[in-house]
Structure 1
Amino acid sequence: MKVFNICGIVIAQLLAQLTNAQGCSTIVTRRDIMSLSQQEWNQIVYVLRRMNDDGWFRYFSDIHNYEFGNIHGNDHFFPWHRRYLRDFEEVGQRYDRNFAIPFWDELRDSRNPAGSPVMSDLRIGGNGFGSCVNDGLQHGWTMSFPNPHCLNRLYDMGNQMRPWYSPEYIYSVMQRNNDMHGFRENIEFTLHGSVHLGIGGDMSTPYSSNDFAFFLHHANLDRLWDQWQSWGHGSTMDGRDRYGNPIGLGSAIPHYGDAIGSTMRLGTGRMCFRYAGGTNRRQSSAIKMVSQPLASSANDAEANLARLPSNVLQKWFPHVAHESSLLDAANSTRSSVSPVVSNGKRIVYPAPLTDAWVSMHRFDREKVAKIMQEAREFVDDLNSAKYLSPY
């Protein structure tokens, strides 16, 4: 009997390996939270409440808190959070096999994050003014890590939040960085931190995953990484861990032990999910793949960017500059019209990281200062070129 049991185990392992190599039997789609019907959102709320009641939010906050130093300020950032979100999603699928983490297209709301419908009573709720969130998804919940408390939020401007990073800026980051290390730094030191700090409360602590805003935020960051991967960086993994040791596709993910390479392709292995909207920037307006407003806004942004002066375009949008030069050669023309869009707005300075945030993460202060200065220079250059954003 033992021989048959051993044979059965071996066969099961081989079948599991074969399934893993071939991909997923079921792939869920992560959608923009604002595209969900009320009935679809209510089902997600049902799953999340049960997960919290059964101690899963405590479990995941404990992991994030414990691994905090291993997964921030170094190049484990993207693969670790992808694995972590998938772990959370798999637990949710124990309650509903179709459960998928939505993403929040924060770039669309970057001018006025506090005014986003995501932060209304119909979705995750709003400010707690340093105390309990009193509406939305987690109103009335008890969060049990690190000790029992209500979910806290504290916007960084009282009842408002400082602006986050624009779709145009993140589009530029994706074009200017061809290695994982550079891409990670330019996302982690900008959009990642500004959202955590803007919402505040639990979101500004090492146990930030108490707040479901964490999962919406990191699903969006993961979506942006997926977009960047689709631009020819699908198997790119370089950089170092927190101790300065080089890491690559074969390196073990902290806590999980899986190889980083196991997270690199969606729809394979345990990465049984995809993002609504696709990943191929050739399918539609490229900037629309970064943020998903009305198609007309994305098309206006594309047209405006293509009209930027050559020096600005080449500096901040090298892919667009290359494609524009090819189009110019084909048409033998180059428009000198100022890039103006009806009802467009000047780009505003995004919120910088705070000293406390930099210290908590043990970031390299010089690198942070350099990237934040570049972000301000980006705003200055586009405003000087009279670029008006439709976002």
Structure 2
Amino acid sequence: MVYTRKNQRNLTSAERKAFVNAVLELKRSGVYDEFVRTHIEFYVPDGDDGLRVAHMTPSFLPWHRKFLLEFEQALQKINSRVTVPYWDWTRDRSPASSLWSDDFMGGNGRRGDLQVMTGPFAYAHGNWDLAVEVTEARFLTRDLGRPNDPIALPVAADVDRALADPVYDTAPWDSTSGSGLRNRMEGWTTGLSGSARFRMHNRVHRWVSGVMLGAASVNDPVFWLHHAYIDSLWARWQAAHPKSQRYLPATPPPSGDPQHGRVAALHDPMPPWNVAPAALLDHTAIYRYA
């Protein structure tokens, strides 16, 4: 049966509570922290040697689609009716959005140490203790909009510009790719400075800030709502470009190419699941977006 992922602003109070309770149960059981560890392991910069599958690479979108599915299936083992909602940051752009309410994601971090003090994921409430890739602070942190170094969320025009690109990805298949949906969505740029360097997906991580920066960003549950929206945009692009929506590269870069053995082609298995991008192009038999 195909289930629906809803815009978080349209969730009922019961749906919000069910999602939060399932996430907290995953945390209590230790399963949630395994998702954090997985993302850290596969957050490999394109300057490093070896295979990249999660970031700065063509498989950014299918890898995170699979990652979301694994998380959603874990939630559904707790409550079969729970799905991952999405955060449309072109509409809900303020720290006053219902996304950040006390019964859902909780609010901004306090001045000084940026500790989130409200909501179900506040450390003070005893249910959200950061245990993976932390130093001294074990609490959730946020700095929404970064008032001391302001950054704005992407707007609808940014989304439209990305979705208008008819090509999935282009060589050199990394953070320097100048065109293609994947890097327009992931948001790496060259030749710019400051916050202008970061677009789309990357810019949202920086707008939330706190633990949403870096490989351990899964420590903030809003990670899943952000990536569900990214996945929904990929789905929109696929529907809008039916003749050109094929994942690229279709075949592995040849020997001698700087990306040989470093990116996953269409039928190359992506760790840790050994599932190829080709198997994740069509989600419509599993879920849809409302």
Q: Shared topology, TM-score over 0.5? A: yes
Q: 1:131 aligns with which of 107, 111, 114?
A: 114
- Residue 159 of structure 1: how far off its partner (Å): 8.0
SS of 1:157's equivalent in the other structure is coil
Match of 1:221?
230
Deviation by residue 1:251-299 (Cα, 9 ceiling, x = unmatched)? 111311111111110134xxx22111xxxxxxxxxxxxxxxxxxxxxxx
- Residue 101 of structure 1: how far off its partner (Å): 0.3
Match of 1:29?
4
The letter of the residue matching 1:158 is P
Identity of aligned residues (%): 26
The letter of the residue matching 1:225 is W
The letter of the residue matching 2:76 is Q
Q: Within 5 A, what are the aligned runs for 1:1-391?
A: 26-69=1-44, 70=52, 71-109=54-92, 112-128=93-109, 129=111, 130-140=113-123, 141-147=128-134, 149-158=138-147, 162-181=151-170, 182-189=180-187, 190-233=199-242, 235-239=245-249, 244-245=259-260, 247-268=264-285, 272-276=286-290
Mapped to 2, the partners of 1:57 and 1:149 lie a distance apart of 15
Deviation by residue 1:164-215 (Cα, 9 ceiling, x = unmatched)? 1111221122113433441011111111011101111110021101111100
Mapped to 2, the partners of 1:275 and 1:155 lie a distance apart of 26
Contact 1:79 1:253 in 2 (8 A): no
Task: Return closer, same or farther for 1:256/1:52 CA change in 2, 3 Å cut-off.
Answer: same
Structure 2 unmatched runs, 5+: 45-51, 171-179, 188-198
Structure with higher helix content: 1
Mapped to 2, the partners of 1:253 and 1:52 lie a distance apart of 26
Mapped to 1, the partners of 2:273 and 2:264 lie a distance apart of 15
- Residue 155 of structure 1: how far off its partner (Å): 3.2
Q: Number of residues paired by the alignment?
A: 246
SS of 2:83's equivalent in the other structure is coil
SS of 2:268's equivalent in the other structure is coil
Deviation by residue 1:125-152 (Cα, 9 ceiling, x = unmatched)? 2221443211123123112212481112
Query: TM-score, structure 1 length as denominator?
Result: 0.59
- Residue 120 of structure 1: how far off its partner (Å): 2.5
Moved over 4 A (4+): 240-243
Mapped to 2, the partners of 1:151 and 1:177 lie a distance apart of 39
Query: TM-score, structure 2 length as denominator?
Result: 0.78
Deviation by residue 1:68-120 (Cα, 9 ceiling, x = unmatched)? 012111111000000000000011111011220000011113xx432322123
SS of 2:157's equivalent in the other structure is helix
Structure 1 unmatched runs, 5+: 1-25, 277-391
SS of 2:182's equivalent in the other structure is helix
Match of 1:321?
none
Mapped to 1, the partners of 2:153 and 2:264 lie a distance apart of 30
Higher relative contact order (CA 8 A, sep 6+): 2
Task: Return closer, same or farther for 1:159/1:123 CA change in 2, 3 Å cut-off.
Answer: farther
Mapped to 2, the partners of 1:79 and 1:43 lie a distance apart of 27
SS of 1:63's equivalent in the other structure is helix
Contact 2:7 2:87 in 1 (8 A): yes
Greater mean alpha carbon deviation, residues 30-39 or residues 126-135 = 126-135
Contact 2:154 2:204 in 1 (8 A): no
Mapped to 2, the partners of 1:187 and 1:45 lie a distance apart of 27
- Residue 37 of structure 1: how far off its partner (Å): 0.9
Mapped to 1, the partners of 2:99 and 2:269 lie a distance apart of 35
Mapped to 2, the partners of 1:102 and 1:135 lie a distance apart of 20
Match of 1:380?
none
Task: Return closer, same or farther for 1:46/1:243 CA change in 2, 3 Å cut-off.
Answer: farther
